[in-house]
Amino acid sequence: MISFIRVIKFAFQEIGRNAGLSFMTVVILVLMLLSVNVLWTVDVVTKEAVGLVKEQINVSLYFKAEASDQEVSEVKRTLNSFPEVLEIKTQSREEVLESFQSRHQLSPEVLEALNELGDNPFGPTLVIKTREPEDYKKILQAMDVPEYDNLVEAKSYEGNEEGIEKIQNITNRIERLGFWLSLIFLIIAFLIIFNTVRVAIYTHRIEISIKRLVGASNWFIRGPYLVESFLFTVLSIAITAGLIYLALHWLDPYLLLVFPNGFSLTNYYNSHIFLIFGLQALAVLLLTSLSSLLAMRRQLKI
């Protein structure tokens, strides 16, 4: 216990002696972690945006007015047999008419023309959602057969592949930029910690020699620098988490305007806090410890 307390004491002494380098080390680690969290956040927002766009994609099958409920049900059963189909909603003739009237309530000439027909001219409609946008082509091909020509009056495919492609392209560019920034900060952090420990060991080489003469073990000499690595990790993670939550608090009101489902990055981070910051803490601790051990091995020649 006494040795452990002395190791911690020596660690704080080293940080005090190299305050400037210690500060720069924490700053670089924070910048690296911020880059990683930007990548993580962009990935989360992108997946949410793509999912939202996918929800708007569907295929509508408009049946002729004379199509019976039994015929519509048979087509629905056929479509449900496809593993790609996620959901099918059936709209009756009356629901289709009400929807049409609602959409054109500001167009009295359209409603007047509809009233002159006397009878409901619309047939039932099936609205189909699939797991992926590319699955709709298979559904359309399945419906494009002669036996359904007398039932289906029209097919409407409301696709947004172009929007999804644009989102993915923008995200890929941001992720590439973030990856290289993170890599640069990682290399800088490694070099700073490596040189900080090496300079500290070289400066105190006489003190280290005395420690050896009085029976200090190799791990007692290494200890203060490993404690420094742990302190750098804790400080950088704590500062990064504080900055991230401040940024999320600022971003969430804007995201609420974009995502009608109430998506919140703060809620996402709260529900994944141990996974996100736990992995980052482990990665930073490995980085700082590895750089310290390599510097000590070279200088101490243990």
148 and 175 share one domain: no
Q: Which of 159, 176, 193 is the last residue of a domain?
A: 159
**Does 158 score more than 80 pLDDT?**
no
d(CA 54, CA 165): 12
Q: Using one digit for the tens of pLDDT, what is the confidence trace for 30-74?
A: 888 888 888 888 888 877 877 777 777 777 888 888 888 888 888
CATH number of 136's domain: 3.30.70.3040
Half-sphere exposure for 244 (CA within 13 Å, toward CB): 27
- Both 201 and 282 in one domain: the answer is yes
Claim to verify: residue 48 and residue 131 sit in the same structural domain: no
The answer to whether 265 and 255 have CB atoms below 8 angstroms apart is yes
**Domains in the chain, number:** 2
What are the strands, taking DSSP E only, across the chain? 58-63, 85-91, 125-130, 152-158
Can you tell me the mean pLDDT for 176-189? 74
| Whether residue 171 is found in the same domain as residue 143 | no
Average pLDDT, the chain: 76
* pLDDT value of position 244: 92
- Predicted TM-score of the model (pTM): 0.67
Distance, CA of 154 to CA of 67 (rounded, Å): 13
Both structure tokens of 132: 């992926």
Q: Residues 290, 194: contact at Cβ < 8 Å?
A: no
pLDDT in tens, 66-122: 888 888 888 888 888 888 888 888 888 888 878 877 877 777 777 777 777 777 788
Band the pLDDT of 24: cuts 50, 70, 90: confident
223 and 285, same domain (yes or no): yes
Structure token digits, residue 45 = 């927002």
Share of the chain above pLDDT 90, in %: 3
pLDDT at 37: 85
Distance CA 226, CA 202 (A): 17
Q: State how far the Cα of 211 lies from the Cα of 213, in Å rounded to an integer.
A: 5
239: tokens are 């500062």
pLDDT mean over 119-145: 79
**Taking the alpha carbons of 20, 26, 29, 30 in that order, is the dihedral positive or negative?**
negative
Is 290 in the same domain as 196? yes
pLDDT(29) > 90: no
**Residue 262: predicted pLDDT:** 77
Do 168 and 143 lie in one domain? The reply is no
Q: Which of 132, 159, 186 is the last residue of a domain?
A: 159
Tokens representing 8? Answer: 């911690």
Q: How far is CA 204 from CA 6, 207, 217, 220, 232, in A?
A: 16, 5, 16, 14, 21
Confidence label for 302 from pLDDT (cuts 50, 70 and 90): very low
Same domain, 37 and 22: yes
Structural domain containing residue 170: 2-52+163-300
pLDDT digits (tens, 9 = 90+) for 194-252: 666 666 666 656 666 666 666 656 666 667 777 777 888 888 899 999 999 999 989 88
Are the CB atoms for 229 and 285 separated by under 8 Å? yes
Pick the last residue of a domain from 98, 133, 159: 159
Quick one: CA torsion of 34, 35, 37, 41, rounded to 10 degrees?
130
Alpha-carbon span 185 to 298, nearest angstrom: 23
Residues 100 and 198 in one domain: no
My answer on whether 107 and 184 are in the same domain is no
Over range 259-282, report the average pLDDT: 86
Confidence of residue 6 (pLDDT cuts 50, 70, 90): low
Both 33 and 8 in one domain: the answer is yes
Same domain, 115 and 155: yes
